[in-house]
Chains A and B, each alone.
Chain A
């Protein structure tokens, strides 16, 4: 056993697990056995100052994965390091970079982080290591927070420039001449938190890397790329798609770990009919209290800022310190000041803070070391973030515990019923589509501004010449007699688009009731027309608000408190037009399956006022929000005529709603993506197929490859949907499967089950 430190934490965790009150709530319990450390000798020729610095910080030897990464980098191979939190991942890149700079002060490295906060953290860590090694390292962050007078110094003399992909795109690459010292001597590009570069954002980042390569080629540099990622299913594949070069995977973790308990906890049923369960927050609070009172240092993740504050308050009441002593329970979320966050992080590391309640602000690699227990209250949306949060618990020697507390949301309930999706399927695939035409054309424009493009050059795809011709026709480029395409437009192309613009923006809800406006919350762009159209009654924590004004362009809804006896219900009309069929498979008798390009348009045109209790319609109004539309990719299932003919229209209507709901939940689990990234639409009489059809589409313009993959998984999708519906203990439908009977009709659940059987 590795428990050379028999802690009270270990005992407290064992005691909790043995508690009979907890047992009925445990939907799943897995134990990961402890692992001893595996070390590797110091590599030859490492700068002795660096070795001394590491020894002085308690690093006596490298872990095997660190040594493997170092060796690959020295052999000039790109690497992608995938090891858990607190396994010494950052050393995998800081060590080779500092070693190179120690040897040759002209050497340069570029670090990319997805957020400014992570960049700032890394700056501190890198400087500390350089100082310990007595290296005079010139490094700074370069982002919106960098003072102007520092900027020119960073450009000319920064040996390690720490920035984000957005800055690289908009400020560095288009001004590459001001950075030629960096690009001429660029030896390393570090891309940390690689798993965040998925979907549309990842597709953009892959194109930024294409542009970066054109610049480094121009200046004669050939940098090594060092990526680090949290656990995803296909880290190497994602890295290779982003870098478009071979990448060596380093995932054989040599860091030690103690025993880990992983639990899925489902709160008790509160309302059988509606399938509503007890509050995940309160269950989480009870578990956290048990752990903290047993001396277990615990982090709890809540999904919203409000729930963070609520839980923090509850726990502080329980663990009130003696007068004059600081609280041992802290909240931690976006909106806290950097100093406050730093202080909390320090408190966690040195043990003064016993419990912390956080939003996913802490999910991305902020360095707080490992804790004894991590509790996720509500499924964070993706399996990767669930493991990221759970990974916050994990000691090198003693026992730790991670728990997911399920809420009443369908996907949470699905996971409670089918925890194998959490444990046994690999975590999400990082899917990107760098060749998404919209994305590609934008970056090709930006890149041709940076350097003219020879007609023979390929930017990502073989059809580059056609794209260049399109840009020439549009008046952006001009092909000169040297067969190169030159930027020939007055505008500055990199400022015309953002890497994250396609990411679902949120509409902010502003409460104007008091004398000062305050932000009440946010709704995503797709839900906003339904929930916060003008004259809507928006309900937030049980309080009614009247939406006075919706500023669609500014993405703001202004509301005031009200008290009325009705609620509003808006009609969302989604239309989907198939533009092109790419692929199809006719599986008689299970029906036709197709995949292709579609245009999805959605519009909210009117709303009804519905009286509480009686559900009378007491009025209506029109909604003036412009129709939104996008081109994307989709796959769809056509239900066989002989199956659907058995049902009347109403039954079929309800069943299709149920079918689309369960397909979205299970589909997003199969794809390991956020359910919001996968759109669904069921049409009883689809214009394109003429028959009842279930469409699943990428909820991102141009698509990122989700439905392309789902098309190949259709059989699995149908099987998983059947399992979800048939194994659900409810009688007529509940949030965990097809949705409550009130929405899908009295025969809804049974019909969905029959339809799925027919489709199999």
Chain B
């Protein structure tokens, strides 16, 4: 009878390539060795130890100035053993930065081996809890859920509850401001295109897990040198990016060479700066902006103007877009109709605008301009619906007037 070991051996042989297991040296040595390699402190707790690499990076004065008015923050980024947020992905490096004068103090907590994880997690949670705010890049989708997963695995619920309530994830902001002009909004895109950061001896993110596995399986700690540098740069870039975003909101958008104006207007609106948003939107509606974007900007600007009671300016904004017979012009006439009906109470004027929209649409169709058949159909339906409704209302209003006159 064949033993299980034989069968396993056969399976291995079939798969080909037999990798002999490499057993790592003992734990104490490992943690100390790692700390020595990076000339770092070893923080020892009852349930494990973490290597704490502390570095200080001087920030440009403009960056320090921009960040001065914000609530103190922890700039947070992790390196992990995989990209899934499932229960088996481990945070092996937690980078945490905070501002100290004109310097960014970055503490990197490095995991000597899996059994030390609880200690590292408690340290990281402690650092985060010391600040009212945490700033990340895609932390909402990845770093924080993963940290919470790890805390749950170790049942560290008190630490979980102490995490800061305010979390500013810069990824969605960067997407709004830079994705279009840069063709992407990975942190590396923004660093290169906006922050002027150039990474030299860096290791690509995709290589990070295998570097750590290599170290764990007995490789040199030097495998991690690039990973630590990579993480450090991520955290410095976080601070630089947040400062840049603050500068943009404070009017920097006027002379920014790389910026999506439409996204900037949205960003300002989200921040409650509607007057500024309107300025961005109006400034952005230059000739040459592609039609979709212009329409969307105009809609935003008009909404802002109407909100501020500036009905006339809003209507002008739309009439300015009706010069050339196209589906967009028809859509603009439709907006004019809507403004006249809702904001001016001018039903006749609205009917006139809607009828114009209908004529413009016929003309656009005849000239073969603008949009596919589907888009034409869609807007045709909207135009006809509004036209019908307005006709009905105008007729009703006229009947009422006539009746009133008879009574009089």
Contact = CB atoms under 8 A, between A and B. Distances in A.
Given A448-B88, A450-B88, A474-B19, A177 B209 contact: no
A597 B11 CA distance: 13
23 contacts: A174-B86, A178-B149, A437-B8, A449-B88, A452-B114, A472-B21, A474-B19, A478-B24, A478-B114, A481-B26, A482-B115, A487-B81, A488-B81, A488-B217, A489-B82, A490-B81, A490-B83, A492-B82, A492-B84, A492-B86, A493-B88, A580-B2, A597-B2
A454 B57 CA distance: 42
Interface in A491-516: 491-494
Contact of B153 (A177, A488, A597): A177
A701 to B, nearest CB: 12
Contacts of B83: 490
A179 B152 CA distance: 10
Interface string A460-500: 01010011011011110011111010111111111000000
A478 B87 contact: no
Question: Is chain A's binding surface mostly helix, strand, loop or mixed?
Answer: mixed
Contacts of A597: 2, 7
A176 interface: yes
Contacts of A180: 152
Contacts of A579: 10
Nearest to A177: B152
Interface in B10-31: 10-12, 15, 18-21, 23-24, 26-27, 30
Contacts of B18: 473
A480 B23 CA distance: 9
B87 A473 contact: no
A493 B21 CA distance: 20
A582 interface: yes
B5 interface: yes
Task: In the A-B complex, list the 5 residue pairs whose CB atoms are closest, starting with the nearest.
Answer: A449-B88, A177-B152, A481-B27, A482-B115, A487-B88
A582 B1 contact: yes
Interface in A389-447: 437
A587 interface: no
A586 to B, nearest CB: 17
Interface of B: 1-2, 4-5, 7-8, 10-12, 15, 18-21, 23-24, 26-27, 30, 81-88, 90, 113-115, 148-149, 152-153, 209-210, 213, 216-217
A474 B18 CA distance: 8
A175 interface: yes
Contact of A478 (B15, B84, B217): B217
Interface size class of A (residues with CB under 8 A): 35 or more
A436 to B, nearest CB: 11
Interface in A170-185: 174-178, 180
Nearest to A479: B23
A473 B148 contact: no
A482 B1 CA distance: 35
B81 A437 contact: no
Interface string A70-112: 0000000000000000000000000000000000000000000
Contacts of B86: 174-175, 449-450, 492, 494
A304 B356 CA distance: 60
Nearest to A475: B19
A251 B20 CA distance: 53
Interface centre among B19, B30, B115 (most CB of A within 10 A): B115
A175 B15 CA distance: 30
Given A180-B152, A466-B4, A474-B19, A449 B12 contact: no
Nearest to A448: B88
A208 to B, nearest CB: 15
A116 B115 CA distance: 40
A698 B122 CA distance: 52
Contacts of B88: 174, 448-450, 487, 492-493
A451 B4 contact: no
Contacts of B87: 174-177, 449-451
A435 to B, nearest CB: 9
Contacts of A473: 12, 18-21
A450 B12 CA distance: 24
A489 B114 contact: no
Given A449-B86, A479-B23, A486 B114 contact: yes
Contact of A481 (B5, B115, B152): B115
Nearest to A579: B10
Nearest to A481: B27
Nearest to B145: A178
B87 to A, nearest CB: 5
Nearest to A485: B114
B216 to A, nearest CB: 6
- Which of A176, A486, A493 has the most CB atoms of chain B within a 10 A radius of its CB? A486
Given A466-B8, A475-B19, 5 more contacts: A473-B20, A474-B15, A488-B216, A489-B213, A490-B81
B224 to A, nearest CB: 15
